[in-house]
Amino acid sequence: MAEQAKQIRWGIIGLGNIARELARDLALVPDAELVAVASHAAERAEDFAQEFGANYAFGSYQELFECEEVDVVYVATYHHLHARYSIEAMKYGKHVLCEKPAAINATEAEAMIEASRTNEVFFMEALWSRFNPSLRKIKEMVDEGALGTLRSVQADFCFYGLDADPKGRLLNPELAGGSLLDIGIYPVFLSYLLLGMPEKISAQSRFFHTGAEIQTSMILHHPWAQSVLHSSFAHTSDNRANICGEEGQIIVDPFWFQTTGFTLTREGKSQPFSFPLNGKGYTYEIEEVHQCIRGGKTESELWSHKDTLNLISLLDRIREIAGIDFPIATLE
């Protein structure tokens, strides 16, 4: 009989919305085990551990980093705390899956990558759309020339969020709030995935009374192609992506960043593709983490350290052009 693979033991820090989503999908991955959870609020940790069957509930992140039964830490805190806690976890020899954006600037991301190398542990930004089965197929098709020369990527990510708590993480610049890092990261990711680094960028933003950026339009220019991208908390949209080449077009079904399918149109004929998701779709990044850890890797080939650094560098450039500033200290 084949030997059963050892379980990969997870710990989660920051027990908010996305932590719950990931915990639900962890339960769908057979060789994953949620062992420990940690929150600033001990009671929240107790409730979360009970709901998801974790053995340990800690009232501080530090205790989870010190827990010898944890192999990999999922960092689900606010953006501006991703670097600090990821680096701390790696110092304790933990592998890390950190929510997007990995960091609030490239300097922080570089320090995280350095921590992964120094401590010889796996580190990946939880850019879950990279592992979405439809988007993986689209990337393959585009690279194989299914659309001919790629000329245009149009994508947005919008929802109405102006009724959120002005002091909360979406609308508070002191928590690195704003649409660009929260949701604009996805259209920029799609353009980067398919077209690479642009030669020039144009961007304009609108701001909320809190100082947070709430709407950003971007053009990423390559010598042979352009991307037109948009993110907004000021309105909804159909959240569809449109990828056009000289010989064909792909329309990605909404919400494109967590899609279950797309339509390829070539020579006047349309062909639908369908890839139903396992769970909410976080299962695929979890499986990638497992595969990399089992292979002794410090980074994923599908979403590498370089990819994380390139993406945050693009967001840094967009912020500079559009005047998006965070009045907070950052790792130096």
Tell me whether residue 150 or residue 181 sits nearer to ligand NAP (CB atom).
181
Distance in angstroms (rounded) separating the CA atoms of residues 77 and 125: 13
Q: Rule CB under 6 A: say whether 126 interacts with ligand NAP.
A: yes
Interhelix angle 185-195/133-143, nearest 10 degrees: 30
Q: Rule CB under 6 A: say whether 100 interacts with ligand NAP.
A: yes
Quote the least distance from Cβ 158 to ligand NAP, whole Å: 15
Which listed range, 28-36, 71-79, 207-215, 243-251, lies at the site for ligand NAP (CB under 6 A)?
Answer: 71-79
Q: Rule CB under 6 A: say whether 169 interacts with ligand NAP.
A: yes
Distance in angstroms (rounded) separating the CA atoms of residues 193 and 316: 17
Tell me whether residue 14 or residue 184 sits nearer to ligand NAP (CB atom).
14
* Binding map of ligand NAP across residues 202-241, x = CB under 6 A, - = no contact: ----------------------------------------
Tell me whether residue 147 or residue 229 sits nearer to ligand NAP (CB atom).
229
Q: What share of the chain is helix, strand, coil (3-state, %, to 5)?
A: 35, 25, 40
Residue from the set 128, 189, 233, 303 that interacts with ligand NAP by CB under 6 A: 128
Q: 264 - beta bridge partners?
A: 250, 271
Quote the least distance from Cβ 41 to ligand NAP, whole Å: 5
Quote the least distance from Cβ 99 to ligand NAP, whole Å: 4
Q: Rule CB under 6 A: say whether 81 interacts with ligand NAP.
A: yes
Q: Which tokens is 180 given?
A: 């660009």
Q: Rule CB under 6 A: say whether 80 interacts with ligand NAP.
A: no
Number of residues that bind ligand NAP (CB under 6 A): 21
Residue from the set 52, 71, 77, 130 that interacts with ligand NAP by CB under 6 A: 77
| Residues in region 23-52 near ligand NAP by CB under 6 A | 39-41, 44
Q: Rule CB under 6 A: say whether 307 interacts with ligand NAP.
A: no
Which listed range, 14-22, 105-113, 145-153, 209-217, lies at the site for ligand NAP (CB under 6 A)?
Answer: 14-22
Tell me whether residue 124 or residue 225 sits nearer to ligand NAP (CB atom).
124
Exposure class string for 54-79: b at 16+ Cβ within 10 A, else e: bebbbbebeebbebeebbbbbbbbbb
One DSSP character per residue, 177-223 reads: -SHIIIIIHHHHHHHHHHH-S-SEEEEEEEE-TTS-EEEEEEEEEET
Quote the least distance from Cβ 271 to ligand NAP, whole Å: 29
Q: Where are the beta strands (DSSP E) in the chain?
A: 8-13, 32-38, 56-58, 72-75, 95-98, 123-125, 150-158, 200-207, 213-222, 225-232, 241-245, 249-252, 261-266, 269-274
Of residues 206, 22, 82, 104, the one with CA closest to residue 11 = 22
Of residues 128, 132, 100, 98, the one with CA closest to residue 115 = 98
Chain residues in the site for ligand NAP (CB under 6 A)? 14-19, 39-41, 44, 76-79, 81, 99-100, 126, 128, 169, 182
